[in-house]
Structure 1
Amino acid sequence: MIRLYISEPTPTFSAGLMLPLNIDQGRYLTSVMRKGTGDKVSVFNGREGEWTAEIAEAGKKQVVLRLLEQTREQPQAQGPVLAVALIKRSPLEYIIEKATELGASRIQLLMTRRTQSDHVKLERLKIIAQEAAEQTERLDVPEILSPVKLEAFLAAPDVEVIVFGDEDSTHEGDERRTMPLLEVLSTLTSKRTAILIGPEGGFDDHERQTLRAMENVHPVNLGPRILRADTAAISALTLYQAALGDWK
């Protein structure tokens, strides 16, 4: 069944509620998917679970849904925060899509000293996250936050623990000074965690020293190979979900 995320403010979902769709979603249902009056779809708004709805009106100017019944309740928000430095457009969009699929609760974009891009189409990234949530049965969409400097993120974190992939720990050899990510995660229980991924080229020496000096920050080793930023983000989220998240 087609799933639609309702981002516009609406009254509390309840049986019988009439729900006008925005122009893009209305056109998608009627012109692209060829749906008409009486056809069923699923809708969610990130707050009140998932509902079955039927198309009550399928006009050229407006498409209206009628909510029928709730099929799934809204789960409690969970999942790690992903804080990721801005990188080139295509791999960044890939990160947003896969982070949504892998259950990130929020994605904070960062500017670091080696950031390769200082501008981003935030609305485009939000649409990518929305479409990924619709396709993967999520009942919420991760918030995509405007870029801030790394220093600002570290000065006012709303998480208990930050883990960051320390590229300089890749070739430490048998006598590792930096613990592997999975080993660190096993010590965190259910603490609110942010996974911090640096830019292409990694964090510079000053940033690494700042991060390593903070009590709530854990540098982690992501293995014997240098990973691209998108690969590192996906790998870290996968390990988190396996160790602490909803894959257990």
Structure 2
Amino acid sequence: MLYLLNEDAGKEHLHVKGEDFKYLIKVRRHRVGDLLQLRKKKDIDILYAYQLCEISGREALLTLQSSQQKSVKALKELHIGWCVIDNKSIEKVLASLNEIGVQKISFIYCERSQKNFKPDIKRFERIIEASNQQCGRTELMQFDFVKNIDTFISANPDTKVFDFTDKTLGCESDFTTVLIGCEGGFSSKEKSRLASQEVFRLNTPMILRSESAALAVAAKILL
């Protein structure tokens, strides 16, 4: 853990209780005298250094030692338009996408998306907060819904499309928005709508799952 999110961060004296106490003392096994780093979501770019001064019962007392402006963000930006898939599949790769530096994910109900899948944005946000505390990132990934591919392309006309094609994504490629289909790919109607967009594939003979494609493309562009 590189820092702990706590909405009281910044106060001279901080009493840590509940889940934060369990994590710091029971899981991380911090002891009196240890220096801890904290941030709060409202001003997440400010890093606070606290000393653990006292542990009593189910509460720990921290004393502020210093504060500094320190942001940790990806060097590039990437916005993924992602046709809706099972939440469980998204959750498996979400922390990794966050560590790589994906800025935003827009979830889109494509024709082959199963309509009973509804992205759990609140849960995704909790996963991102936990991931940020582990990897040090201070930018919170953004999420939104877009009703269909037409709407997404209209709002993001420079979108590149991951699909079956002869063109492979090269190491020199650099773009900021990509559209990734769900399991089964795009329908014939959607392919026609996307005919004017630049389409690419990755240099592999294997068929990638939607979540594998999201990870691979993000790593290729951002790292």
TM over 0.5: yes
Which whole-Å CA distance do the structure 2 matches of 1:94 and 1:120 have between them?
13
Deviation per residue, 1:18-67 (Å, 9 max, x gap): 45657432332234334355432222346424332223565667656444
| 8 Å Cα contact 1:45-1:140 kept in structure 2 | no
Identify the residue that residue 130 of structure 1 maps to in structure 2.
129
Identify the residue that residue 140 of structure 2 maps to in structure 1.
141
User: For residues 153 and 184 of structure 1, do their structure 2 counterparts lie closer, same or farther at Cα, with a shift above 3 Å needed?
Assistant: farther
Amino acid at match of 2:160: V
Aligned pairs for 1:23-172 (under 5 A) are 23-45=18-40, 47-55=44-52, 58=55, 65-70=62-67, 73-75=70-72, 78-116=76-114, 117-143=116-142, 145-151=143-149, 152-157=151-156, 161-167=158-164, 169=165
Amino acid at match of 2:113: T
Deviation per residue, 1:94-137 (Å, 9 max, x gap): 22111012111122222211112432322222222222222223
| 8 Å Cα contact 2:49-2:67 kept in structure 1 | yes
Which whole-Å CA distance do the structure 2 matches of 1:74 and 1:164 have between them?
31
| 8 Å Cα contact 2:153-2:159 kept in structure 1 | no
Q: Which of 179, 198, 204 is the equivalent residue of 1:218?
A: 198
Which whole-Å CA distance do the structure 1 matches of 2:206 and 2:51 have between them?
51
SS at match of 1:182: coil
Which whole-Å CA distance do the structure 2 matches of 1:21 and 1:236 have between them?
40
TM-score by length of 1: 0.71
Identify the residue that residue 199 of structure 1 maps to in structure 2.
182
Q: Which of 208, 229, 232 is the equivalent residue of 2:213?
A: 232
| 8 Å Cα contact 2:181-2:210 kept in structure 1 | yes
Structure 2: tracts of 5 or more residues without a match? none
Cα RMSD over matched residues?
A: 3.1
Amino acid at match of 1:130: E
Structure 1: tracts of 5 or more residues without a match? 170-175, 242-246
Amino acid at match of 1:55: L
| 8 Å Cα contact 1:182-1:240 kept in structure 2 | no
User: For residues 36 and 232 of structure 1, do their structure 2 counterparts lie closer, same or farther at Cα, with a shift above 3 Å needed?
Assistant: same
| 8 Å Cα contact 1:50-1:73 kept in structure 2 | yes
Deviation per residue, 1:209-228 (Å, 9 max, x gap): 22233xxx421122333211
| 8 Å Cα contact 2:50-2:63 kept in structure 1 | yes
**More deviation, 79-88/217-226:** 217-226
